[in-house]
Every structure is written in structure tokens, then in C-alpha cells.
Amino acid sequence: MENNETNDVLVYRLGAGCDLSDIEEGKIYQGKVQGFANFGMFVQMNDRIKGLVHKSNIKAEHKERDAILVRVRQIRPNGNIDLEEVQIQVYQVQSLDRKSTTVRIADLLSRLGKTVAIEGEIAQIKQTSGPTIFTIVDESGTQNAAAFIEAGVRAYPEAELDNVIRVVGEVMMRNNQLQIEVDSLTVLSEDEAAAVKVRIELALEARAEPPEIPFLVPSEVMERLRPEMRKLAKIIRKAVFMSQPIILRHHADADGICSAVAIEQAVVSLIRESGGDFDADYYMFKRAPSKAPFYEIEDITRDLDFSLKDHIRFGQKMPLVILTDNGSTEEDEPAYKIASVYDIPFVVIDHHHPDGTIDKYLKAHVNPYHVGGDFGITAGMLGTEVARLINPKIEPVIRHLPAVAGVGDRSEAPERALFLGLVAGQYSEQACKDIALALDYEQFWLRFNDGREIVKDILNITGNPDRHAKLIALLVEGANTMIEDQMSACLPHVVSRVLKNDANLFLIDVEIHAYKFTFPPPGKTSGEVHDRLCRKHAGEPVVTIGFGPDFAVLRSRGVLMNIPRMVRELRVEIPGGGISGGGHLVVGSIKFVEGMRNVVLEALIEKIALTSVQK
């Protein structure tokens, strides 16, 4: 032991984030031998700092990577460090961490090129072929931090999804995006993590609160729904701020598409504003039409499959699922039960008649029936207003969507006229009808792909009005041609009855008297037949049933049916019928087993005949 050393000698261990400003002349540090030269030996004190022990100051023989103690003799003006080896038997070790101030993620841009510390929760861990990318969320934003051990090797494997961590690193720009190059990453203790989580949660609660803005048009029903709409919008905003993936499922018609696209525009723009990867809006948000007018087991199976794979492969959280223009009925319940196994949260924006068994699965449920309204307030109207609460900046590009949804869904609510009046200077009622028809037509050919960019062109969201006009003209022409062909084929085969309540009943077998596997599909074919018959029998009650081997589609005007209730009753009254279905009160569908078709249809007609009509 050197004569001037005692048991109280301090030896410093430099943290990964320490740089030249953190060392002092005369102090002793731990190091590792990095290499040799004719004039001496290089010593690495951490990944950033190395110095030279001149051969006259080497006290023992060493090989590369040997641990060594060194005293700093001099720090030269050019940054070179002169070291000397010291040999001490007994000493105390003190760790030095980078003298970095903890900053909020929102303030990182002003610290470009500086070493900082941030504290937050891990929202995603993505292993690339190079570094490990940690997505970190604090009370102010989202930020990626890149940690590199060696190519393709997971850095800091002790850090897991949802851990609260402290990251020290340099703020840099990579591919025109802000990023932290990690020097050190520490998982905080339980007490420290709890304090950070409370801070983040309190800030996020305030940040996620939707703005106080009026609706686009006056509506008593929507005013009564405002608290639930705000609650739902806040859940979505918070999911974005916490980098939670979002899946949006919707009915594949004009109303469902308008509702979903409005929310899509709000969420995507908010994701971009909140930071993260340049393509985060594509892998953090997915929109998909549902095959049926409800969230069925096929939908949850697909969504679960994708989400679990993304969770394993890309370190993503399980998603928030938004359902719009579906999600309110007992037909959705089997899918909800499966999702509950994985604790997947759901929110719903719908205008189908709700079943009371559903709300226990939902975090929020916006439905006009809950406040005395009905299906006339369409999903497109509700979805657009919720989208404005999520991000009001997108209002100019979506304010026409409620009018398109209203005419597309044949709403008779007073809000339809108000929304049409709101955009009358840019979109006439006929223009809105054309857009709705173009959406239905294009979605048929898209099948159940989202067609994100095509749909934006149809809705004139991309800012290319010339292309929008040309596309609408072509799609409407194609749709109308095929509708006329379908009507020519099926109208001669319509069978009529007058029921004992004086309602005009019309039946059409769309399986054998309509073109198959083309546009318009059975549901829309039945609707077109119904519209023409309503015009022919103006002022009279009309019910149209389009049926196939194992299904029937119902449309009604002036007959006060309750289709969901009728379906429930038939299920009990006809054992072996295999009956399911639902929809709106006077527009819906019913499914059954093929061998019981005649029995089910006659029982259904008998119930319609007992229904009150509007005189």
C-alpha cells in the first residue's frame, strides 16, 4: 500500500452518462485496460472517457480488460487525460452518476445536444437489428430512447413494459426525429416509481380532459349525451398519450365509415402531435370494418391475434378497442367475453337499440337510446362530435361527415337537416347522397379492408377536390348501373300482402331472384326495393322483407316494430329455429337455420301484423 493511502481513501466509479466534466484532477477512479502503445497504456474509465498511463507510471503488468485503479494527474486543454496507476488494498467505492437535470419530455427539443435525464413509464420495447428502442411516456409527452449493447441484442433486459425508469442520455436528431441516445437506464424502486406514477397520472388526467366546445349543431339528445361523450373522448385521448395501441371497428356502411373516419382523423393527428415514431399512426392505430353489423367472434379473434403478436414481437401494450355503429347489442356479448380474458378495454359509439347486459363490458357507451333518443341520431353524427372532443383541430376536414352519414342512413331526425345546412355552401344534399353511395359501393369491393386512403379521397379529406369529384362521379355511375340491373332482376318477383293492421307487406327472395356476390348485396338490395315501394305507396305503412335461405332483412316505414324484441321472442317461441339478430327498432335482420325458414318467416309476419301503424 502506498504510504499516503488509508482505509478512508475514496475510489470513484463513473456512471455510463458521466463525461469529462464529471472527473477531477487528483481523484482516483476505477477503470479497465483498453490497449497498449510504445509510450504507455490506455485505460477506459467508462464508455465515454479514456486516458493514458505513461509507461513510467505503470506499477504492474496488465493485459486488456484488466481492472485497474488510476489517479487523474492532469486534464489537458485538448481533453486528453494523463493518468497514473495506483495500488491500494483497502478503499471505499463511490459511484458517480451524470450530473444531469431531470427534464420533461416536452422540453427535450430545447436540450438538443445536451445530456439529460427523463423519468417515465415504458410504453413499448422494440428490438431492432441495431439498438433497443424504449418508448417512454411522462406527464408531458412520449419519447423514444435508443440503447445499444451490440447489434440486435436486447439492452437492459431487466427493464420491462410498464416499468417506471430513469434514463440518462444525449438528446439527438435521428432521421429528423428527436431521440435520446441512452447512456444509462435504471428501473426505479417501488417507492420512487409510485411517486413518478402519481405525478404522471395527475398530469395525464388534466391533459386528457377534452376541450369545452359547443356541438356543431344544436341537439337536445346530444346535449344529454355530452357527459358520456366527454368521458369516451377522454379515454381515447389518454390512450394516445400513454402510447396504448387503438383498434377501431365499425359497421361497413356509409354511417359506420363516416363515424370511424372522423375518429381516425382525430386520433391519427393526436398521435402525430404527441411524438413517437414517424409511422406511429400506422402501427399504433388500426381501423377495420366488421363483417357483420356487430362485433362478432371472428372480429375479436383477428384483433386478439394481431394484438398478441404485436405485444410479443414489438413490446406493445394490449389495445383499446373502439366500436362505432355496432357494439350495443347482446350479439356483441360473446366477443366481449373473450376479450375480457385479456382485460382489453372497450368503448362504444352506437345508435342501435342497446341491451342492458352489455354495459358491464364497456368503459364508456355513447348511445342516444340511453337519454331518450333513437337511431335518428346516427353513429356518424356522434362519431364526428366525439372526434372534435378528441382533437378539435381536425374539425374543418370532418364537419361534412354527419351530413353524409345522416342521408346515408336515412335519418329522419331534425339533426339531419341541421347538419346538411351546416355544409350547404360546399355540399348539397344530393352531393352527400352521392358520397354515401360511393362509400357503400367502394366498401363492397374493398370487402373488409379499411381502404384508408381511398376512403379519404371519397370523403374529400385528402385536399384534392378534383380527384374527389372524378372519383365520386365514377363510383356513383357504377353503383347506379348495378342497382338498376339488380332492380330489373328482382322487382318483378316481389310478393305483396296486406296485413290485418293494414300494413303493406312486400317479400322478395334475394337468394333466387337477385344477382349474387355482386353489388348491391342482399341488405342493400332489400333497402332499394323498400325505397321504391315506399314511393309507390306514399303515405301508407310499408314493410319489406328480403330473405334468403337462412336470413331475412327488414325495412319498415310507418309500422312501429321493435325488431330486437321480436327476435328475442321468436327465439323462445320457435325451438330449433336457431334464431338470432337485431338492429334498429324498425330496420334490422334476423338469422335462422335453413330448414326452419318458412316457420320463422310466418311467425315474424304474424308479429308484424300485430304491430301498431302510423295513420
Whether residue 286 contacts residue 248, with contact meaning beta carbons closer than 8 Å, is answered with yes
Average pLDDT rounded to a whole number, residues 181-189: 89
267: which 3 cell numbers? 386520433
**Mean per-residue pLDDT, 517-522:** 94
Cβ(583)–Cβ(352) below 8 Å? yes
Segment among 108-112, 223-227, 264-268 with least mean pLDDT: 108-112
Q: Name the residue ranges covered by the structural domains of the chain.
A: 10-96, 105-206, 209-427, 494-609
Question: Who's near 370: CB < 8 A, 6+ residues apart?
Answer: 225, 228, 354
Q: Kindly indicate the confidence band of residue 17, based on its pLDDT and cuts at 50, 70 and 90.
A: low
Model pLDDT, residue 149: 85
- Angle of CA points 567, 570, 379, to nearest 5°: 0
Q: Is the pLDDT of residue 588 over 80?
A: yes
Cα distance between residue 364 and residue 371, in whole Å? 14
Task: Tell me how far apart the alpha carbons of residues 257 and 272 are, in angstroms, rounded to a whole number.
Answer: 22
pLDDT in tens, 340-355: 999 999 999 999 999 8
pLDDT of residue 586: 87
Q: How many helices (H) and strands (E) does the chain have?
A: 16, 23
What local confidence, expressed as pLDDT, does residue 5 receive?
47
Confidence band (pLDDT; 50, 70, 90) for 546? very high
pLDDT for the residue numbered 458? 98
Averaged pLDDT for residues 52-68: 93
Cell representation of residue 197: 406514477
Instruction: Specify the pTM.
Output: 0.81
Residue 14: pLDDT band with limits 50, 70, 90: confident
From CA 555, how far away is CA 156, in angstroms rounded? Answer: 61
Average the pLDDT over 498-527 and give the result: 95
**DSSP letters spanning 373-428:** --TTS-HHHHHHHHHHHH-GGGHHHHTTHHHHHHHHTT--SHHHHHHHHHTTTT--
- pLDDT value of residue 137: 93
Please answer whether residues 350 and 367 qualify as being in contact, where contact means their C-beta atoms are separated by less than 8 angstroms: yes
**Looking at 277-291, 390-404, 557-571, 595-609, which range is the least confident one?**
277-291
- Compute the distance between CA of residue 250 and CA of residue 324 in angstroms, rounded to an integer: 5
- Is the pLDDT reported for residue 275 higher than 90? no
d(CA 607, CA 505): 12
The HSE-up count of residue 122 (CA atoms within 13 Å, CB side) is 27
- Joined together, the cell numbers standing for residue 114 give 445536451
- Does CATH place domain 209-427 in 3.90.1640.30? yes
Residues 6+ apart with CB under 8 A from 86: 2, 5, 28, 59, 69, 70, 71
Query: What pLDDT, on a 0 to 100 scale, did the predictor assign at position 20?
Result: 82
- What values do phi and psi take at 236, rounded to 5? -70, -45
Return d(Cα 9, Cα 25) in angstroms, integer: 15
Q: For residue 363, which of 246, 251, 282 has the smallest C-alpha distance? A: 246
Options 3.30.360.10, 1.10.10.10, 3.50.50.60, 2.40.50.140; which CATH number does 105-206 get? 2.40.50.140
What's the full length of the chain, in residues? 615
Per-residue pLDDT at 78: 86
409 vs 448, more confident: 409
Lowest mean pLDDT across 275-279, 390-394, 531-535, 574-578: 275-279
How confident is the model at residue 1, as a pLDDT? 42
* Residue spans of beta strands (DSSP E) within 10-141: 10-14, 28-37, 40-44, 50-54, 67-75, 81-86, 92-96, 115-127, 132-137
Q: What is the pLDDT of residues 201-220, one digit of tens each?
A: 999 999 999 999 999 999 99
Q: Among positive and negative, which fits the CA dihedral 198, 200, 203, 205?
A: negative
Task: Specify the CATH number for 494-609; select among 3.20.20.70, 3.40.50.720, 3.10.310.40, 3.40.50.300.
Answer: 3.10.310.40
Instruction: Note the pLDDT of residue 505.
Output: 97
Does residue 44 have a pLDDT over 70? yes
Q: What is the pLDDT of residue 277?
A: 60
For 555, the enclosing helix (H) or strand (E) is strand 551-557
pLDDT at 307 over 60: yes
Give the model confidence (pLDDT) of 133-177 as tens digits: 999 999 998 899 999 988 889 999 999 999 999 998 889 998 888
Q: Which of 250, 352, 367 is nearest to 583 (CA)?
A: 352
Give the pLDDT band of residue 3 (cuts 50, 70, 90): very low
Mean pLDDT of the chain: 92
The stretch 225-242 carries a mean pLDDT of 97
- For residue 100, name the pLDDT band (cuts at 50, 70, 90): low
Asked if the domains at 10-96 and 105-206 fall in one CATH topology, the answer is: yes
Show the CA angle centred on residue 576, arms to residues 573 and 578, nearest 5°: 90
Q: Which fold has domain 10-96?
A: OB fold (Dihydrolipoamide Acetyltransferase, E2P) (2.40.50)
Of the pLDDT bands very low, low, confident and very high (cuts 50, 70, 90), residue 469 is very high
Q: How many CA atoms lie within 13 A of 297 on its CB side?
A: 3
pLDDT greater than 50 at residue 519: yes
